[in-house]
Amino acid sequence: MPLFSLIYGTNRPGGFDLLIESLKNQPRDLYELIVVDNYPGRLERSVVQDYILRNNIPLRAYTHPIIPGAGLKTGMARSFNTGVVYSTTDHIVILNDYCWLPPGWAYQWNQTIQNAQANSMITATASLRMASPPIEDGDITIWPNTPLWWNIGPEIELYTPKYFETFHSYF
């Protein structure tokens, strides 16, 4: 059984290349991935689920932000609550979309969880990354041929995504 559940909520195009590339080298026995996706039609196309499974990521669930019997409201809170319903662990890590997790990230969380007191909450911000503006509205990527996290070198202009801040939280 995994130690913690990763809940990844999104309603925007792309971003799965960042997530999957950063999870590929994390120890799979430490986590399960729960994707709560409200981007129109992506769940039904199954492209992302296939991509996740092809990369051997322990996918627990891939669903819309709907809790059975709780109505049709959506939004980030509903996404997180939906993810918790699918979780099989006592430890939850909520990820924003377009979030890249550095090497060793799961080991660090494992150590933090082992050392933390019960009923604690820890929040961490993601590191700043430079990126070119998105090119397309793809299911997996919005930066064709190269995931965003590879574009870390010097650039003429820093692309700043609008209306969201990348972060992850542990409960």
Q: Specify the 3-state DSSP secondary structure of 94.
A: strand
Q: Is the pLDDT of residue 114 over 50?
A: yes
**Alpha-carbon distance 115 to 91, whole Å?**
13
Q: Is the pLDDT of residue 59 over 50?
A: yes
Q: Across the chain, what does the average pLDDT equal? A: 78
pTM of the model as a whole: 0.78
Q: Note the pLDDT tens digit of each residue in 89-101.
A: 988 888 888 887 8
CB 85 within 8 A of CB 79: no
> How far does Cα 135 stand from its chain's mean position?
21
**Alpha-carbon distance 170 to 121, whole Å?**
6
Q: Note the pLDDT tens digit of each residue in 146-164.
A: 555 444 444 444 444 544 4
CB 167 within 8 A of CB 122: no
Q: How many CB atoms lie within 10 A of CB 30?
A: 19
Q: Is the pLDDT of residue 34 over 90?
A: yes
Angle at the Cα of 47 from the Cα atoms of 19 and 22, rounded to 5 degrees: 15
CA dist list (Å): 53 to 33, 66, 135, 166: 11, 23, 25, 24
What's the pLDDT band for 63 if we cut at 50, 70, 90?
very high
